[in-house]
Chains A and B, each alone.
Chain A
Amino acid sequence: MANTIVSPAPHIHGRNETQILMREVLRALAPVVLVSFYFYGLNAILLQVTCLVSCLLTEFLIQKYIQKGQITISDGSACVTAVLLALNLPPATPFWVAIIGSIVAIAIAKMTFGGLGQNIFNPALVGRVFLLISFPVVMTTWTAPSSFFSSVDAFSGATPLALINEGLKSGLSVQDVFAANPGLTPAQMSFARAGGSVGEISVIALLIGFVYLLVKKVIKPHITLSIWATVILMSGIFSLCDPTAYTGPLFNLFTGGLMLGSIFMATDYVTSPMSNKGMIIFGIGIGVLTMLIRYFGAYPEGVSFAILIMNMVVPLINKYCKPVRYGYKKNK
């Protein structure tokens, strides 16, 4: 007889491999990357290239010379980390700072844990927070978005969250800060008028990516939506209680890294819970922590810290949030 293969079922596979999933994430990131290229010009392009090259190279060198195992940089996960890291940096970040961030993200946050799938924390966020703590000046020097392909020299702009934070500290009310900065409306901020990290340039571009990921069934909406719901609810209650001291829901939803974080960082497969119930708890945790840091913390922005803190809780969430099992329901 012919020499045929004998192996257990199933005999076919969906062929929806890791590489394809990562490619979909990169496609979903394309709108915001392109918008950032348009408004931040060469700065943003150089930042992306620097992060990509240094992330891939770090992973390659570690796999080749330290792990001496299979080289898997083609799976695309390092590319996703690189793009996300670049989107999480201020546009005028010097290239050497970006390189340090990339090395920390890949070498420390990912490879020391055993590579793809083994890390506890989101690598790009670890890179960002490491830089934020190590180079606080560089990491809070913002460039205002300008026009097409003009490499802007860094000048000290401030993010909307920082404006509010500083304003409140110096005794102004929320309304005073808004009055002094007429550009701070949700409509303005939703497309390319807010200063901040590269990826915070356009809420609309991020939302397009979100819809794409949902349509392609790469992620489920649970985490993102529960973060939004929590932020809206919490800031709604606080701002109703004291509108002079606390910013409102729309402002909080559209500013800072909330969109980028809730759509692309919190939904990272490796560092988020598996079950739907777990995802919702995870999202609520991120929402609450973000708002606590924004309202009461020393930093104006809290999404990165909130996600990293909740990353730590994921194994516990996975342990207690089981999917709905078949055969344990009471029949009527």
Chain B
Amino acid sequence: MITFKIGGIHPHDNKIAKNAAIESLKLPNKVAISMAQHLGAPATPIVTKGDSVVVGQVIGEPSGFISGFVHSSVSGTVVAVEPRADIVGNMVTHVVIDVEGDIWDESIDRSEGLNSNIVASQDAILAKIKSSGIVGMGGATFPTHVKLCPPKDKKADFLLINGAECEPYVTADDRLMREKSACIAVGTAIMAKVLGGCKSYICIEENKPEAIAAMTAACSKYENIEVLKLKKKYPQGGEKQLIDAVTKHQVPSGALPIEAGCVVQNVATAFAAYEAVQKNKPLIERVMTVTGQCVAEQKNYLVRFGTPLSYILETSGCNLENAAKIISGGPMMGKAVANIEATTQKGSSCLLMLTKEQTARMPIGNCIRCGKCADACPMGLEPWLLYKLSENGNQFDALEDNKIFDCIECGCCTFTCPSFIPLLDIIRVNKVEVMKIIRNRAKK
């Protein structure tokens, strides 16, 4: 079966929320919409205190090439435009809105029916995707319109729609593929059209048979879209690993996927593209899994951006007594929530509660040189060596020679270490240092 070649691990997938159908979360009284929901420069707020807004109205404009539009996810009155702490505690400008009713911009088509007739031109589609504030919804939140505009001399041979969802616990993409398969197929066709009609693969791991069936049925009318069943292996949903699995090409070190002739987009991004282009609906909400063994009810919510995490936990009846860690995203690459009053963003795919037993770090032992970290590393690095060089201190040349900058921070090494050495923590710190040195050298 199809999978990537180098490294990888097999954590228990724990998709305990897979049978919870998507339901809309009741609107909160107040939302705080971040201006930094995408990679790149934060958006500039264009509303001020006292303005009244409707659902889908632009409230933030891009402030650079790699930046994005931000829309209001609710209707009501702006009560503040101020810096607030985000999930990890960084201060970011938020637009705070008191929710009043649920009045949508009139240009948005809220009808249920499927619109599979793509009439917009390539340029019109790109403009629409940009103005709808669509970003990569797999978690990296890279502005989608930038990804869909490869340099003139490069051509995309393949569009990979990433439905691997290799992170344990997360089921948002699985549910979306099961319930909105037809829309995702149209969204894929839309993005393929922008790229000049390239071959598209919808890549789904074997542990989601219902999603594979639904997507296969939905794509049967498209000649150029094929659904691929992938072996279950983490981190298959990583862009580089997915490209290797499907095309056997490798993205050269330091380059973008287009160098391997590929553009990779998440299934949720494809869905957002469908809604933007066919229904004129900007990106204001997404599916988010609320899960964990210590949570009474597993949920897949359709959540408006800016909804406070505390509100989601309250509404879903989460008893936080047993939760030792709250994670935004999956357990392998998600971020531990430092501020429960922070709000959801375009990249928030999951809210995961883990017990102390599940997440506790054990006492660190000696490296026994078993090489399991090197076997697990999907980039073919030697985490044990990077760790050792880091411990010795100031060995940045050696770290660079051993390709520390290629680390994708997937966490396979830490996961697999029998001595509980926090390899990735140490590598991450030194990677930042090495990148800084490389950048300074480039400047000279």
Give A residues with C-beta under 8 Å from B: 1-2, 4-14, 16-18, 20-21, 72, 75, 77, 114-118, 220, 269-270, 273-275, 318, 322-329, 331-332
Contact = CB atoms under 8 A, between A and B. Distances in A.
Contacts, number: 170
A167 B281 CA distance: 91
Contacts of B418: 16-18, 20-21
14 contacts: A4-B325, A4-B326, A4-B336, A5-B336, A9-B409, A12-B11, A12-B354, A13-B420, A116-B366, A269-B370, A269-B371, A274-B371, A323-B377, A323-B382
Contacts of B331: 9-12
A59 to B, nearest CB: 13
A58 to B, nearest CB: 18
Interface of B: 6, 9, 11, 168, 240, 244, 249-255, 259-261, 310, 320-321, 323-327, 331-338, 340-341, 352, 354, 356, 358-359, 361-362, 365-372, 374-375, 377-382, 384-385, 402-403, 406, 409, 411, 414-420, 422, 424-425, 428
A17 B420 contact: yes
Given A9-B331, A118-B366, A322-B402, 15 more contacts: A2-B321, A5-B325, A6-B336, A10-B411, A10-B415, A11-B354, A12-B415, A13-B417, A13-B420, A14-B11, A117-B368, A117-B369, A269-B370, A326-B253, A327-B254
B16 to A, nearest CB: 14
Most interface-central of A2, A318, A322, A326 (chain B CB within 10 A): A326
Contact of B384 (A10, A17, A274): A274
Is the contact region of chain B dominated by helix, strand, or loop, or is it mixed? Answer: loop
A114 B334 CA distance: 36
Given A269-B369, A323-B380, A5 B416 contact: no
A322 B403 CA distance: 11
A201 to B, nearest CB: 28
Contact of B253 (A72, A77, A328): A328
Contacts of A327: 240, 250-255, 379, 406
B325 A11 contact: yes
Nearest to B373: A274
B397 to A, nearest CB: 15
B428 A8 contact: yes
A321 to B, nearest CB: 10
B415 A326 contact: no
A8 B379 contact: no
B365 A72 contact: yes
Contact of B414 (A10, A323, A324, A328): A10
B354 to A, nearest CB: 6
A72 B382 CA distance: 26
A17 B411 CA distance: 16
Nearest to A118: B366
A322 B323 contact: no
Given A11-B325, A328-B253, A4 B415 contact: no
B424 A8 contact: yes
A310 B443 CA distance: 46
Nearest to B413: A10
Contacts of B251: 327
A20 B417 CA distance: 12
Given A10-B332, A13-B362, A117-B366, A1 B381 contact: no
A18 B365 contact: yes
Contacts of A72: 365
Contacts of B327: 11
